Amino acid sequence: MNRRVCSLSLAVCMFASLLSASDILSCYLKNRFHAEAVEMRELESLQQRISNGKLHLRVRDFIELMLKNSTAVQLTRLDVYTAADQIVSARAPFDPTLSASFNALRSVTPFFFGGGTGFAGLGSGSSTGSSGTGSTGTGGTGTGGAPLILLPQTISSLTQNTSLTYTQLLPTGQTLSANFSGVRSSGDEYPFPAVFGSLNFQLAQPLLQNRTNLQARAPLTIARTGLLVTSEQSEATIGEAVATAARQYWDAVALRDGIKVQEQTLGLAEKSYDRDKLALDLGALASLDIYQSQTQVAERKRDLVEAQYRYRVALDGLRRFIGADLSPELRATEIVLDDDPSVTPAHSEVLPFEAALKKALESRPELKALDNRLSIDNLSAKVATDSLLPQLNLTLNGGSSGPSLNPVQAGSVLGIPATPYPGYGQALRQILGFDFPSYGFGVVLNFPLRNSTARAQLADAYVSRTRDRYQKRQTQQDVTLQVRQAIDNIELAGASISAAVTARDLARKNVEAEQQKYQLGTITAFELLDSQSRLASSENALLNAYVVYQEAFVDYQHATWTLLDGFGIVVEPPKGRL
């Protein structure tokens, strides 16, 4: 019973081992001959926001949909994948290499032995008789009775070479190589096939230049830092695109509310026209005076049509940002903007200038990218400095050989063993048993009297570092100016709103007063229509002041890098490529 249990357990373990080996092999083959593919993303969250055939949007909904569906954003994200692929490529020096070769050579050569075609015996070539001497000849026997050996006209030989080599650069800087070679020779000159094998190891260690493997590790470190630079630059590009889209959103809101202002203005003009028409019918107004109010109605209708068209064009632009133009159903969906520009953010959300600037300098990805570029410049300078050193390499060698030969035994002829050669098995036992070992070391010094390439690379690294420092300073100045202008624009927009509200209220009262005067006949229709035009201008000015405030706040959020807060956007590299 115990034997059966043990046998069953052993079988299960062997089966599990085979499955595990199969999984490992399958995983290796998949990673060896395939690469991670990047697929296009489908549109997200659009259908969920459509209600009764209309797509209702607020500014944060619009930004969220843009981050998910904008083609420009997705293209920017692909830059991160390309930078991540550079990391995979930079690992190439550390990839192990296994090479195998086999070749066989059959050769046929003419035989040459002193000009004769045969010889008697294997000794002096003569035999002693009673009175004569041995003689050589073709196809006969010597006088001494010794057999005549016929020599072949050609010699045929076969040589088979087998080689297996493994090479790898270790992370610590040493280059390890191992080689196994085997030679099998056979032919007319070999009574039995001859086998020779060898196993050799070599370890090379730089002692001066590249002693810490800096030149092999630097490209990998630069690629990883370059991935961070690309991620931060992509984040900055996406942030700029979002800020631009948000400003266009508020421009569309301004056009939407501008339609309302045009409708109100048209309504006032139509009321004036109806009043004039009634006065004309009653004979209280000359027939020529009706054209003035009628012209105003026509002009207001024209302005309303133009405003409606501009709003439709603006909505088409927003539709493109969120991918709502990629299918007939989405293109036919009406977009409704639900934001009210008069609902402005609290002024308490705007930090004082120095506090806002500090936050911006700590958060802006452009500055982080420049810091990482400076680290790349420093590493490039170290690599160039290391390349100026002379090359001094230490090589350690060791190995074993297996000639697979028997010693010359008694009874052998011309050193030919009386027993067959042992073959590959004996050769492998001799190699793995280190019956015939070999070992040694070597030192190689390469001292260029001048290394112009390394000096030029070092100088370029210093120039790049200084250039990046200037670019960082310039970017800091740009960020400072952006924060200052954003805060100033918010304050200006706030003051403009207060002034525009007062002007709008006064314009409304003026229109009411002018209407009463016109009804009393103290003013003309031109003066009434002029007051209505000033009211429309004040309404537009107030609307523009609200929109300018919203856009200034968007610029402030972009300058202090708070525009994307709450969206969970992180431009992170693909994990499978690191």
Amino acid at 185: S
What average pLDDT does range 89-118 have in this prediction?
80
Closest CA to 532 of 517, 512, 502, 505: 512
Does the pLDDT at position 406 exceed 60? no
Residue 85 within any structural domain of the chain: yes
Whole-Å CA distances, 245 to 56, 72, 309, 319, 385: 17, 11, 20, 11, 47
The pLDDT value recorded for residue 134 is: 39
Of the candidate ranges 119-133, 144-158, 242-256, 537-551, the one whose mean pLDDT is the lowest: 119-133
- Is there a domain that residue 101 lies in? no
Of 154 and 1, the structure prediction assigns the larger pLDDT to 154
Q: Which residue has the higher pLDDT, 47 or 478?
A: 478
- DSSP helix/strand/coil, 114: coil
* Number of domains comprising the chain: 1
* Per-residue pLDDT tens over the stretch 560-575: 999 888 665 555 555 5
Contact 182, 195 (CB under 8 A): yes
pLDDT-based confidence at residue 236 (cuts at 50, 70, 90):
very high
- Residue 241 pLDDT: 93
Q: Please report the pLDDT score of residue 425 as a whole number.
A: 78
Segment 106-158, tens digit of pLDDT: 988 886 654 444 444 444 444 344 434 433 444 444 444 556 656 567 788 88
Average pLDDT, the chain: 82
Select from 89, 70, 67, 81 the least CA-distant residue to 39.
81
pLDDT at 131: 39
Residue 48 has pLDDT above 90, yes or no: no
Q: What is the pLDDT averaged over residues 427-433? A: 83
Q: Does some domain include residue 165?
A: no
Asked whether residue 123 is assigned to any structural domain, the reply reads no
What pLDDT does residue 487 have?
A: 95
pLDDT in tens, 176-187: 999 999 998 887
Residue 43 has pLDDT above 70, yes or no: yes
For the ranges 97-101, 112-116, 410-414, 534-538, the lowest mean pLDDT is seen at 410-414
Residue 401 included in any domain: no
What's the token pair of residue 39? 């697929």
Could you tell me the two tokens for 476?
């800091």
Cα gap 555→246, rounded to integer Å: 9
Residue 283 domain-assigned (yes or no): yes
* DSSP state, residue 44: -
Domain contains 319:
yes
Range of the domain at 500: 51-90+216-383+454-564
Judge whether residue 238 has pLDDT over 70. yes
- Cα three-residue angle 113-117-134, rounded to 5 degrees: 100
Residue 361, domain CATH: 1.20.1600.10
Least confident of 217-231, 284-298, 413-427: 413-427
**H or E stretch including 514?**
helix 452-520
CA–CA dist 380, 375 (Å, integer): 9
Q: How far apart are CA 578 and CA 571, in angstroms?
A: 15
The token duo for 377 is 């410049």
Does 365 fall in a domain? yes
Give the pLDDT confidence score for residue 150 in this predicted structure. 61
Backbone Cα Rg of the chain: 46
**Measuring CA to CA, how many Å separate 391 from each of 214, 262, 308, 547?**
14, 81, 76, 68
| pLDDT for 264 beyond 60 | yes
Distances (CA, A) of 52 to 19, 56, 339: 56, 10, 19
What percentage of the chain exceeds 90 in pLDDT?
46
Q: Kindly report, residue by residue over 345-402, the tens digit of the pLDDT.
A: 888 889 999 999 999 999 999 999 999 999 999 999 999 999 999 999 999 999 998 8
* Inter-CA distances, 445 with 214, 222, 464, Å: 19, 29, 32
- Residues β-bridged to residue 380: none
* Amino acid 542: pLDDT: 92
Q: How many residues does the chain have?
A: 578
Query: Which residues, other chains included, contact 330 with Cβ-Cβ below 8 Å and sequence gap of 6+?
Result: 43, 46, 319, 323, 324
Q: Highest mean pLDDT range out of 4-18, 37-51, 371-385?
A: 371-385
How high is the pLDDT of residue 428?
82
Which among 26, 68, 20, 23 has a CA at the least distance from the CA of 44?
A: 68
Structure tokens, 40: 């296009």
At residue 149, the pLDDT reads: 59
Bridge partners of 103, per DSSP, are 161
For the stretch 316-330, pLDDT in tens is 999 999 999 888 888
Q: Give pLDDT, residue 18.
A: 55
Using a 10 angstrom Cβ sphere, with 0-12 exposed, 13-18 middle and 19 or more buried, the burial of residue 281 is: exposed
pLDDT at residue 535 in the model? 85
pTM of the model: 0.76
Question: Looking at 4-8, 450-454, 472-476, which range is the least confident one?
Answer: 4-8
- Spatial distance between the Cα atoms of 126 and 135, rounded to a whole number of angstroms: 7
